[in-house]
A and B are shown apart, each in its own frame.
Chain A
Amino acid sequence: MALLEVEDLTVRFYTEDGVVKATNNLSYRIEAGEHFGVVGESGAGKSVSSLAIMRLIEDPGVIESGEIRFKGQNLLELSAEEMRTIRGNEIAMIFQDAETALNPAYTVGEQIAEAVRHHMDLDDAAARDRAIEMLDSVGIPDAAERYSDYPHQFSGGMQQRAVIAMALSCDPDLIIADEPTTALDVTIEAQILELLEEVSETFDTAIQLITHDLGVVAEFCDRVMVMYAGHPVEIAAVDDLYYNPQHPYTVGLMSSIPRIGDTRDRLQTIPGRMPDLIENPPGCNFHPRCPYAEDVCARREPPLVNVETGDPADPINSDSQSAACLEHTGDLLEGLDYQVTVRGTDESTGDAASTDGGVSDE
């Protein structure tokens, strides 16, 4: 049994414009101490999946089906009261915008101490000591002194450290970090990633890292799930994902990032943009943008399968690389044709070269 097992999670938002299919049959697992990455562009359903784990999906959103098992217990069956003790205590969350995650009207230390008092049943003095200890452990200098500072007196990087301190204060087993470094400068991002690495090693904390940054994923994650339009399109160990991607969308993402030392004149692009989640294209959601799409792609929805065997994927019990592309069920006539060189000049060759830029993103 893994620390976290998400099985067939389907979340819908019933809006005035129609039903938003935010996640569809999402399954994955995270082991204790593991760094699991969730990658995709805006609107892919990354954040919804993590809010679902925290049971923070609000009206008009509904978790339609599926199970979220944390240490074997289905979180969706817990009472609101029981869920409250899990939140913060066992599963903590770090958001992108640390400034809004902190209450501007209370001192930073007081906010951490409050969480500690609430979850760990400590008295005021002990909670204060624990808060100072946490601030110190995330590298805030003069922690005792800074305890009584207000959030606005902290820089952006320090605020994110404080949020991490708060997340860590109750020794959670799982941290869900939603774009934790996106708002930060690279030098500060490097500090924060190093810090997360350190704490997860020291406390054996598992981290689900949600990001759009393929550099951060490569550096930080053990396994990765790529999402597109509310569907998982590929799940793989990080090395396989970069050196042997099995879904055309993953390949497209890898080729569209500029890399230092890369001598290509033009970046490869994925033409068009992600569909809104109300009206998904029929068949494979990615087919209107896919350079390898064939007629069948518009008709048949590709299942997530083990890329070696073509059998239905089992992301909860198996580590094998899986992807949702008809290529792996033997339905494509022409097949996929790309090469991936992570450090070379050309990311991929073949048909992918026709996915040139400057096109209408209609």
Chain B
Amino acid sequence: MSQQGTLHRPMGVSLMSSKEPLLRVEGLKKYYEAENDFLSQLLGRSKTVKAVDGVSLEIGEGETFGLVGESGCGKSTIGRTILQLEEPTAGSVYFRGQDITKLSSEELRNLRTEMQVIFQNPHSSLNPRLTVNDIIGEAFEIHDIGTESERDTRIKELLERVGLNASHANRYPHEFSGGQLQRIGIARALAVDPDFIVCDEPVSALDVSVQAQILNLLEDLQAEFGISYLFIAHDLSVVEHIADRIAVMYLGEIAEYGTPEELFTPPQHPYTEALLSAIPEADPRWDGNRIILEGTVPSPINPPSGCKFHTRCPKVIPPAGYALEQDEWRAILSLRTRIDNGNIPLDQFSGDIATAIREEYDIPDTIPADVDRILSEALEAVAVDDFERASSMLDKELETPCAVHNPAIRSTANGQVACHLFDDRYADGTVYPETTREAN
């Protein structure tokens, strides 16, 4: 598979996993139809949002697997799809070796005693009209567990275990603080004695001192009951603290996997590097270099070609045969993304349009003459409103593997990364016509 002899393991497989892991997700996809009304369907205009686009991962017993990424990257959708709260578009989810995407609703209900979930907002995830006793006891009712007195004892035990007072069983949610409500949410998840819990942003709504209490509680429970967690969060420092292994997501795909140590040791995926550098350091003497990514995450309806991160990536591989500096190349690429999207308001420019465009979009005047000539030609096409010609000209003349091929996950010294920078074949920027690892 690889010419450099790096072993290409299935994505996200931990080194030790010779036997079946607790949870194995393979090629998971979840697409939604946007604008799904009758007329757009009739006209073939319906658009697909690829919320999760081919994700594979494994979670071992007693392991915490962290999933991070910006809002809209699909991390919560993965959690819900694994739990079968949403039906996957493609792919399989194996729990103890059994593909649970094929279960009947009866079988799924039984599975809920083994897989549970804790949500981000405890205020909205607990029914305000039920007492704590009823909230936690609901699961016993559904799964017909225990006698009434056994249930009461168990609820009291659970409340004590999560750090609440057993006498609170008859209170209603509004009588509790946010941190206490999250403890009730945890007690509810624990009620059926699950082996696996999806924690979807469980601490992001909490104050820092309470956040630390809940994180410690989750770790204690794991040590005591051997529970596995899928821990979904946008806060890398929280995930780094709690997770054994981490996956970084971007636009529905996984950019990088690794242990916290691997992930935070350079070289990393440029996206991981940027995410990490964006976290404000709680140290006023810190004077590292902050990588500021341009713009926002592109729409998953029409994601960029090739590597989905290339439109914002500060390290896109320059085209073969040109002596381009990274900042020059980045400026040209950003302009090219605009041209591709027809996103240059020509009526706003006056005088020599090509020059005005260069100025407006900060094209450095240092770019080498051969590249500059190509750019000039493209801008001439833009000036006469022929975006298509400009676009294909730039695509053809300044070709980069990052915009052509979607990088597959490959093993590196530090974890597994989906980035062409780690593929020596692309070192000189040559784009091979055929690639064995197109798309994952």
Taking Cβ atoms with an 8 Å cutoff, the residues of A that contact B are 41-42, 142, 144-145, 155-158, 185-191, 193-194, 212-220, 238-239, 241-243, 252-254, 256-262, 265-271, 273, 342-343, 356-362
Taking the nearest CB of chain B, how far is it from the CB of A49, in angstroms?
A: 18
Q: Using A266-B219, A267-B216 as known contacts, say yes or no to A253 and B209 having CB atoms under 8 A apart.
A: yes
Please tell me if B345 contacts chain A, counting CB pairs below 8 Å: yes
| B71-A185 in contact (CB<8A) | yes
Chain B residues, CB < 8 A from A193: 280
Chain B residues, CB < 8 A from A187: 70, 274-275, 278, 292-293
Question: Can you sample 21 A-B contacts with CB below 8 Å?
Answer: A41-B207, A41-B210, A158-B296, A187-B293, A215-B280, A242-B284, A253-B209, A258-B238, A259-B237, A260-B236, A260-B279, A261-B240, A266-B216, A269-B212, A270-B209, A270-B212, A342-B282, A342-B283, A357-B212, A360-B165, A361-B177
| A358-B280 in contact (CB<8A) | no
Whole-angstrom CA separation of A239 from B283 in the bound complex: 8
| Known pairs A144-B348, A218-B282, A239-B285 / 16 extra A-B pairs, C-beta < 8 Å | A41-B209, A41-B210, A145-B345, A185-B234, A239-B284, A243-B284, A256-B209, A257-B208, A257-B237, A258-B215, A260-B279, A266-B216, A269-B212, A357-B220, A358-B213, A359-B163
Taking the nearest CB of chain B, how far is it from the CB of A225, in angstroms?
A: 15
Please tell me if B217 contacts chain A, counting CB pairs below 8 Å: yes
Chain B residues, CB < 8 A from A253: 208-209
Q: Using A144-B345, A194-B292 as known contacts, say yes or no to A186 and B236 having CB atoms under 8 A apart.
A: yes
| A358-B282 in contact (CB<8A) | no
Chain B residues, CB < 8 A from A242: 282-285
Which of B212, B234, B284, B343 makes the CB contact (< 8 A) with A186?
B234
Chain A residues, CB < 8 A from B241: 258, 262, 267
Per-residue 0/1 for B267-278: is the Cβ within 8 Å of any A Cβ (1 yes, 0 no)? 000000011111
Q: Which residue of B lies closest to A252 (CB)?
A: B209
Q: Which residue of A lies closest to B180 (CB)?
A: A361
Please tell me if B432 contacts chain A, counting CB pairs below 8 Å: no
Which of B178, B180, B217, B280 makes the CB contact (< 8 A) with A357?
B217
Whole-angstrom CA separation of A268 from B208 in the bound complex: 11
| A358-B220 in contact (CB<8A) | yes
Interface residues of B in 304-345 (CB under 8 A from A): 343, 345
| B345-A142 in contact (CB<8A) | yes
| A219-B237 in contact (CB<8A) | no
Q: Using A360-B164, A361-B179, A362-B165 as known contacts, say yes or no to A267 and B212 having CB atoms under 8 A apart.
A: yes
Chain B residues, CB < 8 A from A361: 163, 177, 179-180, 183, 210, 213
Taking the nearest CB of chain B, how far is it from the CB of A242, in angstroms?
A: 5
Per-residue 0/1 for B182-220: is the Cβ within 8 Å of any A Cβ (1 yes, 0 no)? 010000000000000000000000011111110111011
Which of A156, A185, A259, A357 makes the CB contact (< 8 A) with B213?
A357
Q: Using A212-B208, A357-B213, A361-B180 as known contacts, say yes or no to A218 and B281 having CB atoms under 8 A apart.
A: yes
Which of A190, A257, A260, A271 makes the CB contact (< 8 A) with B290?
A190
Q: Using A215-B279, A238-B284, A242-B282 as known contacts, say yes or no to A261 and B264 having CB atoms under 8 A apart.
A: yes
| B216-A357 in contact (CB<8A) | yes
Whole-angstrom CA separation of A166 from B165 in the bound complex: 49
Which of A189, A217, A238 makes the CB contact (< 8 A) with B278?
A189
Interface residues of B in 39-75 (CB under 8 A from A): 70-71
| B177-A145 in contact (CB<8A) | no
Taking the nearest CB of chain A, how far is it from the CB of B227, in angstroms?
A: 15
| A269-B280 in contact (CB<8A) | no
Q: Using A187-B275, A343-B283 as known contacts, say yes or no to A260 and B237 having CB atoms under 8 A apart.
A: yes
Interface residues of B in 379-435 (CB under 8 A from A): none
Chain A residues, CB < 8 A from B235: 186
Taking the nearest CB of chain B, how far is it from the CB of A279, in angstroms?
A: 14
Q: Using A144-B348, A157-B296, A361-B213 as known contacts, say yes or no to A258 and B177 having CB atoms under 8 A apart.
A: no
Chain B residues, CB < 8 A from A213: 280
Chain A residues, CB < 8 A from B284: 218-219, 238-239, 241-243
Chain B residues, CB < 8 A from A359: 163, 213
Interface-centre pick from A42, A218, A358 (highest chain B CB count, 10 A) = A358
